């Protein structure tokens, strides 16, 4: 079987899960596409994912209420062994990237990280992923019988539902105790669409001038467009915006339909987090800023004048 580990957010199935289903259907290895749903009180998620796959395995127990890498890795490896999975697909989220290496070690399997394409041909699996701060596309291959794959968010078009709804089975899991004790949680809550799932992202950099400048320019523009808000490392370090909004090497990677960069010069570390966006728009006072080299559309000008002008035009 081809095993995918369902991802959820706020009690709902994530778009990333449907992207993993798409990758699983393309991989070309024999067997049912099986979704594993882990958590506590996850019946709704299990019912939703059942529309997209051949089989659903549900580990719904209080011990899974809190995610932990050791616990998740043990559960996934157990199910992969019992079902003789030939490919295990895990989301390229923080948690997925954190526990997938443990699954690979447990199964003595190679790990293909953040794949954007994956295909089996005669038992040889070939996958592509970005390297060197997303500047290079590398192709790797393995003839291993079992592989663990993390799927880069946004790289695959979400799968469509199947004609029939899959049957669900409860699974018994032998789980270890998590040795990393969680003593507190800071959820960077937002009513906005999530940065990694948004179709439109409006980001600000030093050129917005101040935290107030961000609030009065970037936020209203994002509100008007129904967009997520992003930021550069420089202004996160300056304390203008929370780390959760950081786009780039040490922040989030986004791939929206349109990325609007306001007052962002375009350092390579920032570009690595957004250069796969479908359309890039840049607004910056410096015509020589590197961001214009990757832009489809742009305006050279003072952001304090240009952004209000754009807001005016959007009302028309």
Partner 1 sequence: MRILTLIRQVLDAEESVRVESGAVALGSSKLVMDTMDEYGVEEALRLKEGGAEAEVVAVAVGPARMQDALRTALAMGADRAIHVETDVVLDAIALSKVVAAIAKEEAADLIFSGGQQADWDSHALGAAVAERLGWPQATWTSALELAGTTLTGKHDVDEGSESFSVDLPAVVTTQQGLNEPRYPTLPGIMKAKKKEMRKETLERFGVAPLLIVKGAEIQVKARLGKILDGKKDAQAAAAELVGLLRNEARVIA
Q: Does residue 305 touch partner 1 according to CB under 8 A?
A: yes
Q: For residue 254, what are the CA distances in angstroms to 221, 250, 273?
A: 18, 12, 6
CA dihedral 126, 75, 101, 277 (to 10 degrees): 60
Q: Does residue 174 touch partner 1 according to CB under 8 A?
A: no
**Which sign, positive or negative, has the C-alpha torsion 47, 48, 51, 56?**
negative
CA dihedral 127, 91, 27, 140 (to 10 degrees): 10
Smallest distance, Å, CB 190 to partner 1?
9
Q: Does residue 182 touch partner 1 according to CB under 8 A?
A: yes
Strand-pair category, 8-9 with 12-13:
antiparallel
What contacts 81, CB < 8 A, 6 or more positions away?
107
Q: What number of other Cβ atoms are within 10 A of residue 247's Cβ?
A: 31
Q: What number of other Cβ atoms are within 10 A of residue 136's Cβ?
A: 9
Q: Position of tokens 């669409």? A: 193
User: Given the complex with partner 1, which of 8 and 18 has the nearer CB atom?
Assistant: 8
Q: Which of 101, 158, 220, 290 forms a contact with partner 1 (CB under 8 A)? A: 101
Give the C-alpha separation, 21 to 161, whole Å.
10
CA 314 centroid distance within chain: 29
Give the C-alpha separation, 4 to 21, whole Å.
7
Q: Does residue 98 touch partner 1 according to CB under 8 A?
A: yes
User: Given the complex with partner 1, which of 51 and 266 has the nearer CB atom?
Assistant: 266
Q: Does residue 300 touch partner 1 according to CB under 8 A?
A: yes
Going by C-alpha positions, the residue among 273, 275, 280 that lies closest to residue 258 is 280
Q: Does residue 114 touch partner 1 according to CB under 8 A?
A: yes
Q: Which of residues 67-96 bind partner 1 (CB under 8 A)?
A: 67, 69-70, 73, 93-95
Give the C-alpha separation, 3 to 89, whole Å.
6
Smallest distance, Å, CB 103 to partner 1?
9
Q: How many residues bind partner 1 (CB under 8 A)?
A: 91
Q: Which of residues 239-298 bind partner 1 (CB under 8 A)?
A: 243-244, 249-250, 257-258, 268-269, 275-276, 278-283, 285, 287, 292-298
Smallest distance, Å, CB 156 to partner 1?
17
Q: Position of tokens 């067997």? A: 31
Q: Does residue 188 touch partner 1 according to CB under 8 A?
A: yes
Q: Which of residues 32-61 bind partner 1 (CB under 8 A)?
A: none
User: Given the complex with partner 1, which of 166 and 299 has the nearer CB atom?
Assistant: 299
Q: Position of tokens 């961000």? A: 214
Smallest distance, Å, CB 36 to partner 1?
17
Q: Which of 48, 113, 120, 245 forms a contact with partner 1 (CB under 8 A)? A: 113
User: Given the complex with partner 1, which of 139 and 164 has the nearer CB atom?
Assistant: 139
Smallest distance, Å, CB 171 to partner 1?
22
Q: Does residue 117 touch partner 1 according to CB under 8 A?
A: no
Q: Does residue 302 touch partner 1 according to CB under 8 A?
A: yes
Q: Which of residues 128-147 bind partner 1 (CB under 8 A)?
A: 129-142, 144
Q: For residue 41, what are the CA distances in angstroms to 37, 65, 147?
A: 10, 8, 29
Give the C-alpha separation, 168 to 174, whole Å.
19
User: Given the complex with partner 1, which of 51 and 252 has the nearer CB atom?
Assistant: 252
Q: Which of 97, 119, 192, 206 forms a contact with partner 1 (CB under 8 A)? A: 97
User: Given the complex with partner 1, which of 60 and 70 has the nearer CB atom?
Assistant: 70
């Amino acid at each position: 079987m081809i095993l995918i580990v369902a991802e959820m957010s706020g009690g709902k199935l994530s778009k990333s899960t449907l992207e993993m289903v798409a990758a699983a259907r393309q991989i070309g290895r024999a067997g049912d596409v099986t979704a594993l749903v882990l958590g506590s009180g996850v019946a709704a998620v299990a019912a939703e994912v059942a529309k997209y796959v051949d089989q659903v395995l549900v580990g719904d127990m209080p011990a899974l209420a809190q995610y932990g890498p050791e616990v998740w890795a043990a559960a996934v490896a157990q199910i992969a062994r019992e079902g003789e999975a030939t490919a295990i697909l895990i989301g390229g989220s923080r948690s997925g990237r954190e526990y997938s290496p443990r699954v690979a070690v447990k199964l003595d399997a190679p790990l293909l990280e953040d794949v954007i394409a994956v295909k089996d041909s005669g038992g040889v699996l070939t996958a592509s992923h970005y390297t060197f701060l997303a500047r290079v596309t590398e192709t790797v291959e393995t003839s291993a019988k079992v592989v663990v794959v993390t799927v880069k968010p946004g790289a695959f078009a979400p799968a469509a539902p199947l004609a029939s709804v899959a049957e669900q089975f409860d699974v018994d899991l032998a789980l270890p105790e998590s040795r990393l004790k969680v003593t507190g949680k800071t959820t960077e809550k937002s009513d906005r669409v999530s940065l990694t799932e948004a179709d439109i992202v409006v980001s600000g950099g030093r050129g917005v001038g101040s935290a107030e400048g961000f609030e009065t320019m970037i936020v209203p523009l994002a509100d008007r467009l129904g967009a997520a808000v992003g930021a550069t490392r420089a202004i996160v370090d300056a304390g203008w915006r929370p780390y959760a909004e950081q786009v780039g090497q040490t922040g989030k990677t986004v791939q929206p339909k349109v990325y609007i960069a306001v007052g962002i010069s375009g350092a390579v570390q920032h570009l690595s987090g957004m250069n796969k966006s479908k359309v890039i728009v840049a607004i910056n006072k410096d015509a020589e800023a590197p961001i214009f080299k990757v832009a489809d559309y742009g305006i050279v000008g003072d952001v304090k004048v240009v952004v209000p002008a754009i807001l005016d035009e959007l009302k028309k």
